[in-house]
Structure 1
Amino acid sequence: MKQINEQYNQLTDYISDLLPDHHGVGVSVAIVKDSETIYSKGFGNARIGHAERPIDGDTRMSIQSISKNFMALSIMQLVEKNLIDLDDAVVTYLPYFRTKNKEQSDAITIRHVLSHTAGFPSEVGIANMIAPNVREIFSDTPTEFQEALDHYQLTEEEIASIKNREDITKWFEKVELEYPPGEGWNYCTDAYVILADLFEKVTGSKWEASLHDDILTPLDMKRTTSDSYVVEEDQNSARYYVGEDKIETPFPINPISAPIGYLYSTANDLGNYVTFHLNKESTVLQSELIEEMQKPIHLVSEEWRAPGCDVRSYGLAWFTDTYRGYKIVEHGGGQLGVRSLMTMVPELNLGVVVLLNFDGTIHHDICDKIMDVFIDSSHDI
């Protein structure tokens, strides 16, 4: 017990020392070890200014691209029910799906989309640009919104025409593949809307309903939701801040694109989620399919790797890598004022969740420090 308390104190001191330069903004951290949440703590504030309130392990926060892992898990549940196969072509279920080259896109499988190996370019933009508050997001200068449209080669009319997930899938007919399906890797965030469209066509029900009933409820994730209104109204929910002056940024809202990055959760709920993936609990998905999600499929492009790293890969909504000789499995997310990270070290049965409500990279520093403490203590045993 003494050693454990020393570890906790070491971590608390380390994180506390990182925060003075961040003007009162916050960090929420949860650590799971051997199927138990052993550390849950908030540092700083969920909101600053006149509405200041502290952050804790139950503070609802945007998790951005960690949302993709939930979408992937829902797809794997369809595989378990034999409703689909990962190597089925997307057009089998969405006959209107195509890119500029129909012959190429007819060969794109569900596995390709899940693993970002379909050939889509990374800079597509449509799924984020349909956010209802997109003009507020791009409002720093009078021309910023138009510059964003130009960057993604979009028009206001295109954005206004997107009413549902099927519209996003159909929009991909404008996309030119950068490589044949399966022969490269590009992180295309927008593609996960196609997966939600496929899920809804196969099941005949909204993805969010299944997410709640088949994943969140059995994993006791009571404070995880896709409903931005519920989160904004919750007193224990974060706001997000950018720049040295910590200016509040628009709240991340985008219901159509929820599967790419618009779910909201807490460090403690994500601790439950990581525990499920570590233990490969068959109550939500059979263990073989959980393992399938964590298997590397393709090396990621160079900008997604640490300097000198040549093993970082992507599976089915999980990055895989090594840290000090240990395999790690993780996914993160980020947008204006949002940073999220969940990391597993399977060999140590260790999971780490770090959520920020400001820009920066200290979520990685905190995660590395936590892994260091537990790796070092395992060597002492």
Structure 2
Amino acid sequence: MKQTIEKLENITEYIEHIMSDQQGVGASVAIVNGSEIIYSKGFGHSQIHPVNLPMDGDTLMSIQSISKNFMALSIMQLVEKNLLSLDDTVVHYLPYFRTKNKEQSDRITIRHLLSHTAGFPGDLGIANMTAPNVKEIFSDTPTEFQEALDYYNLTEEEIESVKTREDVTKWFQKVELEYPVGKGWNYCTDAYVILADLFEKVTGVKWETHLEDEILSPLNMNRTTSDSNTVEDDPNSAKYYMGKNQTETPFPKNSLSAPIGYLYSSANDLGKYLAFHLTKKPNILRPDLIEDMQSPIHLVSEEWRFGSEVRSYGLAWFTDNYKDLKVVEHGGGQMAVRSLMTIVPELNLGIVVLLNFDGTAHHDICDKIMDIFMDA
């Protein structure tokens, strides 16, 4: 116990040192040992205008692409109920799904979508560009919004016509695959909107309803939501600040594309989520299916790697090694949002770091925490 207290004190000292350079913006950190959150602390501020508000472990924050993990877990729950199989084709459930080459896209499976191996290019833009405040996001210059449209080969009329998740799925008919289905990897954030469309067609239930009833409530994650209005109205909610001048950025919101990156949570709630992935309790998903999510994908017959010998991807989890220990993680980021959740199974350790500013401090903090807990 004394040794653990010393480790946590060292962690606090390190984070305070890191944050001393940040002039007011904040970090929220939680550490999990097995089923227990053993550390929860905020540093700096959740908001700095018009007044400074303190950050803590319950501060509501955008978690960006960590959201994908909740979408993947929802799909795996349908697998457990035998409502679908990961190797079923997408077109079996969504007959209107196709890309430019229908013969190729007819072979895309649910597993391909979850693991980013469908053949899609990496940066399609359609899911993020449907944000209700997209023109505010691209407003630094009079032409920036049009430049963003041109970059993604989109028109304003095109994104305004997208009203539903089915519309996003149908939009993929203009997409040309970058590599043969299942023969490569490219992180395509937009694909997770198709997964939500598929989920809703299979179940007849809105994904957010399932998320609340079958994941958040059983895990007692009462500070996690897809409702941006609830978050913005909450007195303990973060705003986001970019660059040395700490310019406040537009609030990240996009309910249509919630599964790709528009959920909100707290360090403490994500700590509960990591405790579930570490302990497999409560029983909201079979242990073998949790292991499937955390295992490296296979392309053809071999485990796939990122050009390194260890880094790979599972189902909404990156898999890696850190100083010879297996690490399973997912992060997220947009403008001034940074999020990271990491588990080290051999240490029974879970780490959550959420920031309301840009940079790499979330990775530095996570690495330091792993270093301290590895030094037994």
TM-score normalised by L of structure 2: 0.97
In the alignment, the residues of structure 2 paired with residue 88 and residue 361 of structure 1 have an alpha-carbon distance, to the nearest angstrom, of 38
SS in 2 for 1:368: helix
1:67-121 Cα distance to aligned partner (Å, 9 max, x none): 0000000000000110000000000000000000000000000000000000000
SS in 1 for 2:82: coil
Q: Does the CA contact (< 8 Å) of 1:128 and 1:254 recur in 2?
A: yes
In the alignment, the residues of structure 2 paired with residue 362 and residue 253 of structure 1 have an alpha-carbon distance, to the nearest angstrom, of 23
In the alignment, the residues of structure 1 paired with residue 186 and residue 282 of structure 2 have an alpha-carbon distance, to the nearest angstrom, of 31
Aligned AA for 1:352? I
Aligned AA for 1:15? I
Query: Equivalent residue for 2:246?
Result: 246
1:346-365 Cα distance to aligned partner (Å, 9 max, x none): 00100000000000001000
Query: Equivalent residue for 2:65?
Result: 65
Query: Equivalent residue for 2:28?
Result: 28
Query: Equivalent residue for 1:357?
Result: 356
Greater Cα shift, 309-318 or 337-346: 309-318
Query: Equivalent residue for 1:128?
Result: 128
Aligned AA for 1:13? E
- Report the alpha carbon displacement of residue 53 of structure 1 after superposing the two structures with TM: 0.2
In the alignment, the residues of structure 1 paired with residue 235 and residue 280 of structure 2 have an alpha-carbon distance, to the nearest angstrom, of 34
Q: Are residues 324 and 345 of structure 1, via their aligned partners in 2, closer, same or farther at CA, if it must alter by over 3 Å?
A: same
Map 1:221-300; keep pairs closer than 5 Å: 221-281=221-281, 283-298=283-298, 299=304
SS in 2 for 1:114: helix
Aligned AA for 1:100? K
Q: Any stretches of 5+ residues in structure 2 without a counterpart?
A: 299-303
In the alignment, the residues of structure 2 paired with residue 310 and residue 27 of structure 1 have an alpha-carbon distance, to the nearest angstrom, of 32
In the alignment, the residues of structure 2 paired with residue 329 and residue 301 of structure 1 have an alpha-carbon distance, to the nearest angstrom, of 14
In the alignment, the residues of structure 1 paired with residue 212 and residue 288 of structure 2 have an alpha-carbon distance, to the nearest angstrom, of 23
In the alignment, the residues of structure 1 paired with residue 317 and residue 80 of structure 2 have an alpha-carbon distance, to the nearest angstrom, of 19
1:227-268 Cα distance to aligned partner (Å, 9 max, x none): 000000000000001011000000001000000000000000
- Report the alpha carbon displacement of residue 2 of structure 1 after superposing the two structures with TM: 2.2
- Report the alpha carbon displacement of residue 300 of structure 1 after superposing the two structures with TM: 5.3
SS in 1 for 2:208: helix
In the alignment, the residues of structure 1 paired with residue 371 and residue 306 of structure 2 have an alpha-carbon distance, to the nearest angstrom, of 26
Whether 1:217 aligns to 2:217 is yes
Give the fraction of aligned pairs with identical amino acids, expressed as a percent: 72
Aligned AA for 2:259? P
Whether 1:42 aligns to 2:42 is yes
In the alignment, the residues of structure 2 paired with residue 157 and residue 50 of structure 1 have an alpha-carbon distance, to the nearest angstrom, of 36
Q: Are residues 282 and 221 of structure 1, via their aligned partners in 2, closer, same or farther at CA, if it must alter by over 3 Å?
A: closer
SS in 2 for 1:51: coil
Query: Equivalent residue for 1:333?
Result: 332
Aligned AA for 2:217? T
Q: Does the CA contact (< 8 Å) of 2:280 and 2:290 recur in 1?
A: yes
Q: Does the CA contact (< 8 Å) of 2:218 and 2:282 recur in 1?
A: no
Query: Equivalent residue for 1:306?
Result: none
1:314-344 Cα distance to aligned partner (Å, 9 max, x none): 1100000000100000000000110000000
Q: Does the CA contact (< 8 Å) of 1:240 and 1:357 recur in 2?
A: yes
In the alignment, the residues of structure 1 paired with residue 46 and residue 291 of structure 2 have an alpha-carbon distance, to the nearest angstrom, of 35
In the alignment, the residues of structure 2 paired with residue 314 and residue 3 of structure 1 have an alpha-carbon distance, to the nearest angstrom, of 34
1:242-296 Cα distance to aligned partner (Å, 9 max, x none): 0110000000010000000000000000000001011122521011111111110
Aligned AA for 1:16? E
In the alignment, the residues of structure 2 paired with residue 127 and residue 184 of structure 1 have an alpha-carbon distance, to the nearest angstrom, of 22
In the alignment, the residues of structure 2 paired with residue 178 and residue 98 of structure 1 have an alpha-carbon distance, to the nearest angstrom, of 14
In the alignment, the residues of structure 2 paired with residue 60 and residue 136 of structure 1 have an alpha-carbon distance, to the nearest angstrom, of 22
Q: Are residues 282 and 30 of structure 1, via their aligned partners in 2, closer, same or farther at CA, if it must alter by over 3 Å?
A: closer
Aligned AA for 1:320? T
Q: Any stretches of 5+ residues in structure 1 without a counterpart?
A: 303-308
Q: Does the CA contact (< 8 Å) of 1:185 and 1:300 recur in 2?
A: no
Greater Cα shift, 43-52 or 162-171: 43-52
In the alignment, the residues of structure 1 paired with residue 342 and residue 71 of structure 2 have an alpha-carbon distance, to the nearest angstrom, of 18
Query: Equivalent residue for 1:174?
Result: 174
Greater Cα shift, 78-87 or 42-51: 42-51
Map 1:52-131; keep pairs closer than 5 Å: 52-131=52-131
- Report the alpha carbon displacement of residue 310 of structure 1 after superposing the two structures with TM: 2.7
In the alignment, the residues of structure 2 paired with residue 180 and residue 20 of structure 1 have an alpha-carbon distance, to the nearest angstrom, of 48
Greater Cα shift, 282-291 or 253-262: 282-291
Q: Does the CA contact (< 8 Å) of 1:226 and 1:255 recur in 2?
A: yes
Aligned AA for 1:72? A
Whether 1:373 aligns to 2:375 is no
In the alignment, the residues of structure 1 paired with residue 29 and residue 35 of structure 2 have an alpha-carbon distance, to the nearest angstrom, of 16
In the alignment, the residues of structure 1 paired with residue 133 and residue 356 of structure 2 have an alpha-carbon distance, to the nearest angstrom, of 18
Q: Does the CA contact (< 8 Å) of 2:47 and 2:54 recur in 1?
A: yes
Q: How many residues align?
A: 371
Q: Does the CA contact (< 8 Å) of 1:74 and 1:211 recur in 2?
A: yes
Aligned AA for 1:319? F
Query: Equivalent residue for 1:193?
Result: 193
Q: Are residues 301 and 178 of structure 1, via their aligned partners in 2, closer, same or farther at CA, if it must alter by over 3 Å?
A: farther
